[in-house]
Amino acid sequence: MQLARALSTRFLLGLLSLLFISFVTFLADEIQPGDAATVLAGEKASAETIERLRENLGLNRPWPIRYVEFVSKAVRGDFGTSYYGVKEPVGQLVGRNVTMTITIASCAILLASAIGIFLGTLAAVWQNKPPDQGILFVSTFGVTLPNFVLAPILAYFFALQWDVLPLTWSVDRVAPDYYYLILPVIVLAMRPTALLTRLTRASMVETLRQEFIRTAIAKGVPPFRMYVKHALRNAILPVITAIGTSFGFLLTGSFVVETYFLLPGLGSTTIDAIRKGDIPVVQACVMLTGAIFIVLNLFVDLILPILDPRIRESQV
């Protein structure tokens, strides 16, 4: 029962955060000079045309009413139309791009989990020996180097010097699509890989000190079985939480990678819209990104007690 209460509190907090984001994004429209009417009417429109359009769009009403309308429309995925180009409905435009973000984030988290858990376990097995020190040293770089430094460096070598991978996504792709996603996924996966490696190592080191490991060794459990079945299974829990939160960060933090490799995703769409001042698109992107992050974190909170009976009992 306590667990249900804790989870519903989280859920309410998440909802509150989303409302907060919606308010700030709504403010974006209020603060920026010009509004939908001035943009839609075009540059040559007279003051009267703009005023009439404003009247038609309901922009003359007081802001609390418009805010409520904004939220109720946003819930249904209606953010109006883009200010630029063919004035595509924003929901459609964002929906088209979100697949790319989900694809690269999913690939990156799979890659990061596989490599991170593997290297972290190796490092813990060879604690304080050269392999461990090597892995820790490299992971330090992985945590510290920003994406936008790694991306050009990898692109320079793989795309320009050795010419084995394409430099950026483009409309006329010659190779299969996944070929174009290799570099972005690697860049995106670097930071979570380093974090998961360090976390797996720390958790494994802690677990290997436990008594049941000593018992397992004393019983004569073969080393591989001892490390994987006895130690890793117990050490993996914080790593799973971290995988969940990292996935949230990847889904909502692919701005740099998408912009650099010109991928049509949620991040690059957001940045592009901010630079152009395409406010409906900015609003939709920011709200969606925030929602994804909150839902994912809720999901992690939900799945942990299922995985670990200890949390189920002691959940606050």
Partner 1 sequence: MKLKSKNPRKKRLGLIFGAAYLVLLLLFAIFGPMIRNAQLSDVAKGVDPDIRVYNAVLDPVSSSPFAPAGGAAILGTDELRRDIVARLAEGARVSLTVGLSVQLIALLVGITVGVLGVLAPKWIRNPLMRFTDGMFAFPDILLAILIVSVAGLGMGPVIFALSVTAWPSIARLVASQVATLKDREYVVAAKAAGASNFYLVTRHILPQITGILLAYSMIDLAGTILAESTLSFLGIGVQEPQPSWGGMINGARLNMNSYPVLLIWPCAMLSMTIFALNFVGDGLRALADPRDRSA
Positions that interact with partner 1 (CB under 8 A)? 13-14, 16-17, 20-21, 24-25, 27-28, 31-32, 140, 143-149, 152-153, 155-156, 160, 248-249, 252-253, 255-256, 259-260, 270-271, 274-275, 282, 286, 289-290, 293-294, 297
Supply the minimum distance, in Å, between the C-beta of residue 27 and partner 1.
6
Pair of tokens at residue 220: 């004569």
Residue with Cβ nearer partner 1 (53 or 250) = 250
> How many angstroms from the chain centroid is the CA of residue 74?
21
The token pair at 248 is 């949230």
Residue type (1 letter), 108: A
CB of 44 to partner 1, least distance (A): 26
Cβ-based nearer residue to partner 1, 142 or 230: 142
**Minimum CB–partner distance for residue 36 and partner 1 (Å):** 16
Considering the complex, what minimum distance in angstroms separates the CB of residue 289 from partner 1? 6
3-state class (DSSP) for residue 81:
strand
Place of tokens 């889904």: 251
Angstrom distances, CA of residue 128 to CA of 8, 122, 201, 294: 44, 11, 11, 38
The residue type at 252: T
Nearer to partner 1, 195 or 232 (CB): 195
Compute the least distance from the CB of residue 77 to partner 1, in Å: 19
CB of 28 to partner 1, least distance (A): 4
Name the residue nearer to partner 1 (CB basis): 236 or 284: 284
User: How near is the Cβ of 114 to partner 1 at its closest, in Å?
Assistant: 23
**One-letter-per-residue 3-state SS of 115-147:** HHHHHHHHHHHCCCCHHHHHHHHHHHHHHHCCH
* 56/168 with CB nearer partner 1: 168
Measured distance CA(264)–CA(185) in Å, rounded:
14
Q: Which is nearer to partner 1, 216 or 283 (CB)?
A: 283
Locate 284 and state its tokens. Answer: 């939709």
d(Cα 266, Cα 96) in Å, to the nearest integer? 9
Q: At what angle do helices 90-125 and 266-276 cross, to 10 degrees?
A: 130
145 vs 213 by CB, closer to partner 1? 145
- What CA–CA distances, in Å, run from 209 to 73, 147, 217, 234? 55, 36, 12, 12
Task: Closer to partner 1 by CB, 227 or 247: give it.
Answer: 247
Output the six-digit token pair for 211: 């008594």
DSSP 89: B
The C-alpha angle 287, 288, 294, rounded to 5 degrees, equals 90
To partner 1, the closest distance from the beta carbon of 104 in angstroms equals: 17
